[in-house]
């Protein structure tokens, strides 16, 4: 997995993304949002991987299991 850039570079990236989105982030909320941004940035390496159908959650259900009490 690639290493994370330092906080200064990440803060610049965060500011650029916020500006592109037209967001005005209040100073009292910026640190908390930045922490979330850093966590999401860490997940990018995991999210953008090829996966098989077996890695996807089941999106099916059995009618018998949800109507037991009927």
pLDDT given at position 1: 46
Cα(3)–Cα(1) distance, integer angstroms = 6
pLDDT given at position 68: 67
Kindly provide the b/e burial profile for residues 37-70, where b requires at least 16 CB atoms within 10 angstroms of the residue's own CB. Answer: bbeeeeeeeeeeeeeeeeeeeeeeeeeeeeeeee
pLDDT given at position 69: 64
Going from N- to C-terminal start, the domains of the chain cover 1-49
| pTM value > 0.85 | no
Spell out the per-residue pLDDT of the chain, length 70, in tens.
456 678 999 999 999 999 999 999 999 999 999 999 999 988 887 777 787 777 777 666 677 777 766 5
8 Å CB contact between 25 and 33: yes
Cα(70)–Cα(21) distance, integer angstroms = 49
């Amino acid at each position: 997995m690639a290493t994370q850039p330092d906080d200064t570079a990440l803060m610049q990236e965060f500011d650029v993304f916020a500006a592109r989105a037209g967001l005005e982030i209040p100073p009292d909320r910026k640190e908390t949002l930045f922490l979330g941004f850093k966590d999401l940035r860490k997940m990018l390496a995991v999210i953008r991987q090829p996966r098989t159908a077996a890695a996807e959650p089941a999106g099916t259900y059995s009618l018998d299991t949800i109507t037991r009490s009927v």
